């Protein structure tokens, strides 16, 4: 069960965030409204939400999942793969210092984005992507093993992050987009296959027995509900324009 979440208010400069989506620039005012609805959805799932202030120096800084990870044993500050995002770690580390958790760091030449890391109990799948390299994955696995957990690096193709195409919904259930269906690393899971035309909806979040899903992907939502989950839907269209999804917008612990 999760008790808390950390989010960060989008900055006006988010319109200059990194994107390959080709969906145009986000509407900042709408993004702020959607972000507020996202916070309310987390609260509906019983989480206490800490909201960090916007930081105009970092256009992508609302995607707090990438510069840090929180496990049951502590915090790991990552070393984000995109140059414009490397400086995001400072503010997130500062915010997490107050939690009194052990803090470890991924260091150069290792790079790692939290969006590439999927937690399944005490085991972590680490996607190798343009953002996360072998060295970053190796360092993370070493940290996890020192703390009695484990990790494995997973080869993948064409996705921004591992969790762009995968969401763990607990109970051994994995929501997966086309690119990752049938991937040998995930054979032991019960896979819910996301239809190709709804691939964005492969990024959902399980929060305390509810699943938060993005608005506008009815087939995926129905499939998740048929699998027995109650869903809460949030419109995150303005974050989709920056290749960001539901998981990227918070750290849950």
Which residues does the annotation mark as catalytic? 161, 248
Q: Which is nearer to ligand CIR, 65 or 238 (CB)?
A: 65
> What is the per-residue DSSP string for 108-175?
TT--B-GGGEEEETTEEEEEE-SS--HHHHHHHHHHHHHTT-EEEEEE--S-SSGGGSEEE-STTEEE
Instruction: Give the range of 11-19, 22-30, 147-155, 178-186 binding ligand CIR by CB under 6 A.
Output: 11-19
Per CB under 6 A, contacts with ligand CIR among 101-120 are: 115
Query: Does position 19 bind ligand CIR by CB under 6 A?
Result: yes
Instruction: Give the range of 144-152, 165-173, 191-199, 240-248 binding ligand CIR by CB under 6 A.
Output: 240-248
Per CB under 6 A, contacts with ligand CIR among 144-163 are: 160-161
Classified as helix, coil or strand, 64 is coil
Instruction: Give the range of 16-24, 142-150, 207-215, 230-238 binding ligand CIR by CB under 6 A.
Output: 16-24
Query: Does position 65 bind ligand CIR by CB under 6 A?
Result: yes
Query: Does position 243 bind ligand CIR by CB under 6 A?
Result: yes
Asked whether the beta carbons of 84 and 60 are under 8 A apart, the reply is yes
Q: Which tokens is 244 given?
A: 């960001």
The residues, ordered by sequence, that sit 6+ positions from 111 with a Cβ below 8 Å of its Cβ are: 79, 80, 81, 131, 132, 133, 135, 136
Q: Which is nearer to ligand CIR, 35 or 85 (CB)?
A: 85
User: To which H or E segment does residue 83 belong?
Assistant: none
Query: Does position 164 bind ligand CIR by CB under 6 A?
Result: yes
Query: Does position 248 bind ligand CIR by CB under 6 A?
Result: yes
Query: Does position 136 bind ligand CIR by CB under 6 A?
Result: no
> Which residue ranges make up the site for ligand CIR (CB under 6 A)?
17-19, 60, 63, 65-66, 82, 85, 115, 160-161, 164, 242-245, 248
């Amino acid at each position: 069960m999760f008790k808390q979440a950390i989010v960060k208010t989008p900055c006006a400069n988010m319109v200059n965030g990194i994107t390959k989506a080709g969906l145009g620039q986000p509407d900042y005012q709408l993004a702020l409204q959607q972000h507020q609805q996202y916070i309310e959805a987390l609260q509906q799932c019983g989480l206490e939400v800490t909201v960090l202030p916007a930081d105009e120096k970092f256009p992508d800084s609302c995607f707090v999942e990438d510069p840090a990870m929180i496990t049951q044993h502590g915090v790991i500050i990552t070393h984000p793969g995109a140059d414009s995002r490397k400086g995001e770690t400072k503010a997130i580390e500062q915010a997490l210092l107050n939690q009194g958790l052990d803090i470890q760091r991924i260091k150069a030449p290792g790079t790692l984005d939290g969006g590439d890391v999927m937690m399944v109990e005490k085991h972590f799948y680490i996607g190798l992507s343009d953002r996360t390299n072998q060295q970053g994955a190796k360092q993370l696995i070493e940290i996890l093993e020192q703390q009695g957990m484990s990790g494995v690096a997973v080869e993948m193709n064409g996705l921004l992050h591992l969790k762009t195409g995968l969401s763990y919904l607990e109970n051994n259930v994995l929501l997966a987009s086309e690119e990752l269906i049938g991937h040998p690393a995930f054979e032991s899971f019960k896979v819910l296959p996301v239809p190709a035309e709804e691939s964005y909806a492969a990024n959902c979040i399980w929060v305390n027995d509810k699943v938060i899903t993005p608005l506008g992907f009815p087939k995926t939502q129905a499939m998740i509900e048929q699998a027995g989950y109650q869903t809460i839907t949030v419109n995150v269209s303005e974050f989709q324009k920056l290749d960001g999804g539901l998981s990227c917008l918070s750290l849950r612990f």
